[in-house]
Amino acid sequence: MEHQTRFNTVQQRVVRGARERAASLVSNYYRVAPREWQRMPYEVRTLRSLDSSEVTDEAFAQTVCYTFRREAGSLVLEEGDFFRICLQDHRILDAMRDLQLRLEPLLTCVLTHELVHVVRFGQHLQRIDLPQELRSCEEQKVEKTTQAILSRAGDPDISRFLSSNGRCAGDPSRR
Ligand SMILES: [Zn+2]
């Protein structure tokens, strides 16, 4: 794989802050209690800890769904879906430069979009194996919800990002 620009240490810290902010915006919108949110099966990874199959040049982020299973001998203790939000550092850094945006609001937009996907999967409002012809419709719904959530944030940088392009991220998939 060719070398892509990655977030530095300071930017990694911004990722953690934006992740908290997006989680609080999304959980407030869907009225998910903090204890319930703690159990939400997702993680956020940046380029340095992605598998090469999780890297894309097509979007700022993509959410990949994995099935996890905890076993003890022949006994299945726990089984379910797990979502990995894969941030594409190189694409985000390019957009930041091109659109002259600060990193934090941009990341907040991208993570909010992906967390809306995660909540919709969790509440079975969306199927992960959606046929291609229904995907753009689902993507529009997610984008609309994302914009409703973000406009409540009342952040001028976020508003500028939404009016400049509006599209936060790509389609989720299952591996
Ligand atoms: Zn999406």
Is 2 within a domain? no
pLDDT in tens, 47-79: 999 999 999 998 899 999 898 888 999 898 888
The pTM for the full model equals 0.88
The rounded Å distance from CA 170 to ligand 1 centre is: 4
Number of domains forming the structure of the chain: 1
120-160 residue pLDDT tens: 987 777 766 767 777 778 888 999 999 999 988 888 888 88
Q: How many angstroms does the Cα of residue 62 sit away from the middle of ligand 1? A: 7
For residues 82 and 39, give the distance between their C-alpha atoms in angstroms, rounded to a whole number.
11
Sheet containing strand 61-72, edge to edge, reads 42-45, 75-87, 61-72, 173-174
Residue 158: inside a domain, yes or no? Answer: yes
Ligand 1 centre and the CA of 71: distance in Å?
Answer: 32
Tell whether 3 is covered by a domain: no
**Nearest CA among 42, 35, 49, 26 for reference residue 116:** 26
Tell me the CATH number at 146.
3.40.390
Full residue range of the structural domain in which residue 61 is found: 9-173
